[in-house]
Amino acid sequence: MELSENARTVLERRYLRKENGKVVETPEEMFRRVAENIAMAEENYDGARREEWAEKFYELMTSLDFMPNSPTLMNAGRELQQLAACFVLPVEDSMEQIFDSIKHAALIHKSGGGTGFSFSRLRPKNDIVQSTGGVASGPVSFMKVFNAATEAVKQGGTRRGANMGILRVDHPDILSFISAKEDNEELTNFNISVALTEEFMEAVKADREYHLINPRTGQAESSLEAQKVFDKIVDAAWRNGEPGIIFLDRINKDNPTPQLGEIESTNPCGEQPLLPYEACNLGSINIARFVKDGGIDYRRLEQVIHVAVRFLDNVIDMNNYPLPQIKEMVLGNRKIGLGIMGFADALLQLGIPYNSFQAVDLAKELMEFIQRTSREASRQLAEERGAYPNYKGSRHEQLGMPPQRNATTTTIAPTGTISIIASTSSGIEPIFALCYHRNVLDNDKLVEVHPLFAKVARERGFYSEELMARIARRGSIQGMEEVPEDVRRIFVTAHDIEPYWHVQIQAAFQQYTDNAVSKTVNLPHDATREDVAKVFTLAYELGCKGVTVYRDGSRDKQVLSVGSGQSAEGGGIVPRPRPVITTGKTEKVRIGCGNLYISVNSDEHGICEVFTNTGRGGGCASQSEATSRLVSIALRSGISVDSIIEQLRGIRCVACIRRPGVEVTSCPDAIAKVLKKNYDASPTVSLQQFSDPIGVGGEIAASKCPDCGSEINHEGGCTICLSCGYSHCG
């Protein structure tokens, strides 16, 4: 096997069998263990070919053509034998049922799985509870209980608990749900998404109100202005990436088994819509290995798809399900999710920019072939083994489609750690960085260079260790004259690519995917709320089933590596220049020494400077000016307004505290209050504005992996460390 050093590190940390903390399994032995275990399912059908299929499955993985989801690699052939990555559990509106769901989630997390929940059936906060005469605490309150339970469950150091929390946009508690993760210390084990309905989206377009429905009664009890709710979702996502959104009616339109009920939730990364108690087994083909003679080798790809579909169907039979209800649902629908990884690497090999309609066309062509071929493979399995039991009454039967073995066959999942094992780019994401720093022993840093970029750089004669280190610091080669223009055009990274192209690529894959597509639209730190709104709107217009955005540096714990895109000599951040023209407001605030006049100015990127002047009553003019100057350069260096406010508010001054009628505790506290007022009053955005491509550029901002300290990136609706394989979502 040709495994990179990084791949072996990830395998040793997270996948290979250990005894007393010591690795006692080689990568080859792991793949042999998995292949032989999954081939045991052949005994249920034609056991004579078991060894033949075991060998094919082994070749499938050791060639790095295909990887199953992480729980299959970790657990197949071992005592746990829990092979599924994602589950959805119902949350019903009674105390007994709520805590049943918490118990079931704990069992799933203990086995290494992630869980999705819809909290839309829970009665709203302050609604009546007839059995006790009290009032309900509402969905967000119970989400905190679920979060605490997840925190308490340990998973042996291989996979951590991860949850998706979803609430319908027409639930009466929707506003508190939207702001539930405003504090990054809250709901730390949850991703959250708002389930948007067609009715809501039409109300936003028409700029009208929509009804909020009490799930206990099924009756409309109030209404909200749709545009204002949309703006709040946009603002929250702009601030820290959450909530994401899913288009619930669109998901249910593609529900293959509507006779069993409606889909209410997805798995933690959003790519797998599931009915209550369903689970799904996922796997990804490394499409970068199928580039041949300037195109895709579809003949070999067809062969691999057929083997991969059989592998995933076998996983269903070999799985040890944590709950009997889950086993019944999974065996009834037999959903599998075959997707891809290495799309960005394939584009690089083909000389196609990610941000081009040529890439969009290839995405459609490629996924149409995978969907068609995987369905054909599933139909062949149905002839051999029988259709999935719930086929009767299914959408497939209603449409007159031939019986399939699996209710769904395709999903685009995040492939963070398995793509590291396969030494390829993650999922359908663009390259996050061409060069990056990886922490090695004794806190030394090693510059990792993308192998395709290194190859081109050497062939074209511009490779040097110094240049690669500079690129690692910058995060991008755009604008670097040392790199030829045609190379800069092809080797684009996530932050070089306008959000418009992120969404176009996601929509292209979604068009031919049974389930959904996991993708993060990465935005630069100076992206505006309008940019986020454009992403949400474009995703809806192009047929996506959901979308997640992440604006660099928008979470408190993220450490910015760049400000204006240029690093200062010896490290640090260079603030972007003051704009020539700004607009703003001046507010008079009473302080202990008289009056303080505070001006807050903005440009197209948001608040960019603060000025202060004291009135005739005097005051600490020099200190106020110093504070406002430091605040201004912090704003133009990419420091979040929230972080600045947090540092300034509550600072105490004796003159302010002792003087009656003064409502601030100091001049810095006054600046914080005026900043917050202006920040919260940022202009709203309208759905009708956004039909043109989005144009925001930017540079990379990095955060650190909690396990190894290396750079971490946001992709596939989650976070992944390129060095050790750490993932926030398990």
Catalytically active residues are: 267, 269, 271
User: Do 407 and 334 meet the contact criterion of CB atoms below 8 Å apart?
Assistant: yes
**What's the rounded Cα separation, in Å, for the pair 389 and 380?**
16
Cβ pair 698, 524 in contact under 8 A: yes
How far apart, in whole angstroms, are the C-alpha atoms of residue 710 and residue 703? 8
Could you please report the per-residue DSSP string of 86-109?
EEEE---SSHHHHHHHHHHHHHHH
Q: What is the DSSP letter of 244?
A: E
Cβ atoms of residues 215 and 93 within 8 Å: yes
Identity (one letter) of the amino acid at 297? D
Looking from the CA of 599 toward its CB, the CA atoms found within 13 Å total 12
Residue 365 exposed, middle or buried by CB count within 10 Å (0-12, 13-18, 19+):
middle
Query: What is the Cα–Cα distance from 15 to 27, expressed in whole angstroms?
Result: 9
Kindly report the CA angle at 280 between 276 and 286, in degrees rounded to 5?
150
CA 417 from centroid of its chain's CA atoms: 14
Question: What sign for the dihedral angle of Cα 313, 319, 322, 324?
Answer: positive
State the Cα–Cα distance between residues 504 and 514, nearest whole angstrom.
Answer: 18
- CA 199 to CA 195: how far, in whole Å? 12
Structure token pair of residue 196: 């948007």
Compute the distance between CA of residue 515 and CA of residue 506 in angstroms, rounded to an integer.
13
Query: What is the spatial distance between Cα 241 and Cα 227, in angstroms, rounded to a whole number?
Result: 19
What is the DSSP annotation of 62-91?
Answer: HTTSEEE-HHHHHHTTSSS-----EEEE--
Cβ proximity of 406 and 378 under 8 Å: yes
Residues 6+ apart with CB under 8 A from 133: none
- DSSP letters spanning 186-203: SSTTEEEEEEE-HHHHHH
Strands 520-523, 279-286: pairing is: unpaired
For 12, phi then psi, to 5°, come to: -65, -35
Burial of 707 (0-12, 13-18, 19+ CB in 10 A): middle
